[in-house]
Amino acid sequence: MKSVLILCTGNSCRSQMAEALWNLLADGQWQAQSAGSKPAGYVHPMAIEVMTELGLDLSKARSKSVDEFAKKKFDLAVTVCDSAAESCPNLPAVETFHWPFDDPADVMGNEQQRREEFRRIRDEIKARIAAYLEDD
């Protein structure tokens, strides 16, 4: 089984969604884990909400530090934000990709507008992972 570490700064939105989506879409061929360069200490409630819409439960997920994985070797590391790419130059992986996505937590607006942004980013992440796995 191949392994992937997905990184962002806080490990509260994008990387958490990517971890769950990768594990779903890879159908047992990959094990995905996620971490942050500066963990937020929580998983964003809207990330949990929009993932539930796809039948994925992040309610027990936790924000983790990249330091937890320092001694583990991964087949692939994917950074999903620019600051993680900059702050984690020596990732413990054979291959590294940078797939930047907007941070849905930065969106201003009412609850519905923010929820739509989380859905948009979730769907972008899902499409990017699906395309990668299709070519893998």
User: pLDDT tens digit string along 31-47?
Assistant: 999 999 899 999 999 99
On the question of pLDDT at 19 being above 80, the answer is: yes
All structural domains of the chain with their residue ranges: 2-135
* Residues 44/105, Cβ–Cβ less than 8 Å: yes
The band of 13, judged by pLDDT with boundaries at 50, 70 and 90, is very high
Cβ contacts of 79-84, under 8 Å, gap ≥ 24: 79/7, 79/8, 80/6, 80/7, 80/8, 80/14, 80/15, 80/18, 80/125, 81/8, 81/9, 81/14, 83/8, 83/9, 83/37, 84/7, 84/8, 84/9, 84/15, 84/36, 84/37
Highest mean pLDDT among 68-82, 88-102, 113-127: 113-127
The band of 94, judged by pLDDT with boundaries at 50, 70 and 90, is confident
Q: How far apart are CA 56 and CA 41, in angstroms?
A: 20
Top CATH class of 2-135 equals: alpha beta
On the question of pLDDT at 20 being above 60, the answer is: yes
Residue 91 pLDDT:
66
Mean pLDDT of the chain: 92
On the question of pLDDT at 90 being above 90, the answer is: no
pLDDT (average), residues 73-91: 77
Catalytic residue list: 8, 81, 88
DSSP structural state of residue 65: B
The band of 136, judged by pLDDT with boundaries at 50, 70 and 90, is confident
* Residues 66/92, Cβ–Cβ less than 8 Å: no
On the question of pLDDT at 104 being above 70, the answer is: yes
